Structure 1
């Protein structure tokens, strides 16, 4: 933690909400002790009274009520309304531990080549959540997609989620989960923030690739701690919608970052067929096994 004689860096927090009133209120209650200097809540078309409830309970929070723009666009809009050199983007179902925002901002600004820092993310029951991951190669991607839901400890998923790393040790990473992500405004603005072409899912992977491509580093810092209940907003949607949206985002990522050779560009229709098959097989597998929405992350 930063000592009493060290000037605390200013940090803003941008919370994106969709049909998550109680989660948003609970998240906001943790931010004062966490060290947030500015707080912006971007509500994306909720009909559950989130906007009125937040304005009544937290007059210090700037509330932006917008249409359902998707996570990336909403986060970009919120960050644009902040002035601090560090912005922490978060889902409404995140709870910040005391001092965590200050810690993330301090770690981020301590190195001039760092663009983003991610905290130690835990589930509500205390288990570690794999939020700092490797960028998978094609074999890892296929293995993870095929076996993640039926063979939890398969080597491809373990490699993708970087489960071989001690969660108590900091390290540089390929990408960080957007559930709670501290970004340097200079770097975030320079690459254009999150790609608005992703409605939901994979926008954090895409951001990591573009930041590293621009010469920045990303780092996991376990001294910043949050708790994340996975899927609060997507839990209000049908499962097929979540899966097909995820597949569209993966297709966009393939087209932007992986279809770099003529052969890979020619293979894109096959990739799309594979993604469609993944959606169907996932739905069938979940129906047969009785396992619904993942509680361990994608």
Structure 2
């Protein structure tokens, strides 16, 4: 009888321990979305489906965790996957110095500006960027606008590194890159008036000064008045008036993140180097294209020319 009681007590202790063991035990992958639904949920669902059951995966929204809980999550040998810039900033600001971090759906320039703890090895931080590689973007320009030789670009200093890449790739392709720099929002309109008369196509990059949600409509209207087609970086821009865009969907980014996360080992915390998503989509605005006299290529053929592998 006493032996049975001892066994029951031991079982009760074990069950109690399991019930109250923190969900941020070592070796867990924690998805942390900036918001609950929309693109963030799409990326998270795709990540979980592709990651399968390699390790435990838990999903949180930023609203569910306070700063203390984020610090606890990041103080263990976990993998934290912030989805979106708000979540990435919160993890960087309150990082406990131990967990590896793989951000999803933030631009390259934003990833470079995140400040991580001094004691966190940089090999434990990586990203799947939301923006596209330079070669893919300029390939779209050549496929959709084969006669274009002058590419306009308006950016601020935050995109200085990206501009270097575009200058090198444009020179390799014998394209002329007509560049205007802006430092303040009020300089964007004059910069457009300077670059558009000398451009066959305007290239848009995410930029907190030069091009963002607050001025997107004005920029697109200005390009339309000058009858200069736009190449953009998101599906929403195609709907808003860009003639052609190349982008990686949240699901495509989520699957890429899962492939990178599958190579993470808690013992070392090392992650693969930052990447752009291998998978991408192209979208056209046929109405704007017709009004500007642009003859669009076949969508499937355009994807193949950009190196897409159909699933």
Q: TM over 0.5, yes or no?
A: no
> TM-score scaled by structure 1?
0.30
Q: Rg bigger for which structure?
A: 2
- More helix by percentage: 2
> TM-score scaled by structure 2?
0.29
